[in-house]
């Protein structure tokens, strides 16, 4: 998609799909190897994401795995106030997003640390797979005021419902003056295993919304439950789905394994360039 994000004056083009590397500053994320809590580990992961070809660093301080209990807003802010200065010190000009569902956290990270993108996993504090979901209007108002790109994630369970939900969200966001919007079908949220694959199969239909599409399937349970393995054993199958997602129009891949995702982008781009 020929779309450009304005990230605090840094222009990020999506004509070539981009890779968002996950940096978790939590003790309980579902994939153990993604947990980074010491200063050394955070700095190392920050450089690893960029050295392997990632262009966005996605910092998360509140685990969103389905069986987790969200930490308090104060604890989430404390973790981010520890991690973000390290990220900014190590790579001052990198594009940084923060993964949160709390408007006050979004305000804090943008105003205090100049975070470029808010990656919203949904308004409901109930993170169970089949939690009900309504438009997060408080977050909509906050990001519209902050004027940063915003990733809206749908918890709906069919392609049609996801598209209707996203269309409604976009209308509300536009009415509030929000400019850059990225859509996330929400794999692993509000969907059974079968519904995840039904939505994935129809992914290309979301291009009708004419907005960038973020796909985050990295090592998720939709992979390892299907295959009877563990998150640690789910890299190869993640790569398969990332490749298919790119062929179906994904503009951003959110991943734990940056190098492998960048290779997916290079391979699919080469195929597209063949005359």
Residue 160 designated active-site: no
CB 223 within 8 A of CB 257: no
Which is catalytic among the residues 201, 254, 259, 275?
254
Catalytic residue among 220, 225, 259, 275: 220
Residue 22 exposure: Cα atoms within 13 Å on the Cβ side = 27
Active site residue 254: yes
Give CA separation, 203 vs 4, 142, 207, 233, 252, in Å: 21, 29, 8, 25, 13
Task: Identify whether the C-beta of residue 145 lies closer than 8 Å to the C-beta of residue 114.
Answer: no
Residues with catalytic function: 220, 254
């Amino acid at each position: 998609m020929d779309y450009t994000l304005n990230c605090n004056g840094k222009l990020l083009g999506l004509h070539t799909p981009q890779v968002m590397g996950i940096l978790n500053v939590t003790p309980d994320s579902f994939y153990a190897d993604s947990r980074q809590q010491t200063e050394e580990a955070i700095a190392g992961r920050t450089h690893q994401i960029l050295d392997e070809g990632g262009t966005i660093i996605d910092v998360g301080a509140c685990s969103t795995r389905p069986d987790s209990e969200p930490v308090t807003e104060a604890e989430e802010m404390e973790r981010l106030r520890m991690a973000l200065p390290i990220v900014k010190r190590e790579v001052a000009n990198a594009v940084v997003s923060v993964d949160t569902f709390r408007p006050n956290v979004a305000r804090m990270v943008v105003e205090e640390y100049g975070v470029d993108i808010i990656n919203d996993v949904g308004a409901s504090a109930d993170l169970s797979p089949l939690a009900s979901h309504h438009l997060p209007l408080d977050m909509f108002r906050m990001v519209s005021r902050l004027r940063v790109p915003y990733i809206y994630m749908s918890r709906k369970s069919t392609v049609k419902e996801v598209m209707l939900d996203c269309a409604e969200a976009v209308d509300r966001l536009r009415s509030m003056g929000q400019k850059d919007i990225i859509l996330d079908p929400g794999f692993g949220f509000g969907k059974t295993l079968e519904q995840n694959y039904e939505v994935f199969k129809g992914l290309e239909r979301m291009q009708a919304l004419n907005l960038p599409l973020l796909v985050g399937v990295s090592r998720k349970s939709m992979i390892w439950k299907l295959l009877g393995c563990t998150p640690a054993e789910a890299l190869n199958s993640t790569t398969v789905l990332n490749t298919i997602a790119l062929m179906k129009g994904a503009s951003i891949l959110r991943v734990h394994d940056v190098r492998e995702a960048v290779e997916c982008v290079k391979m699919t781009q080469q195929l597209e360039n063949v005359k």
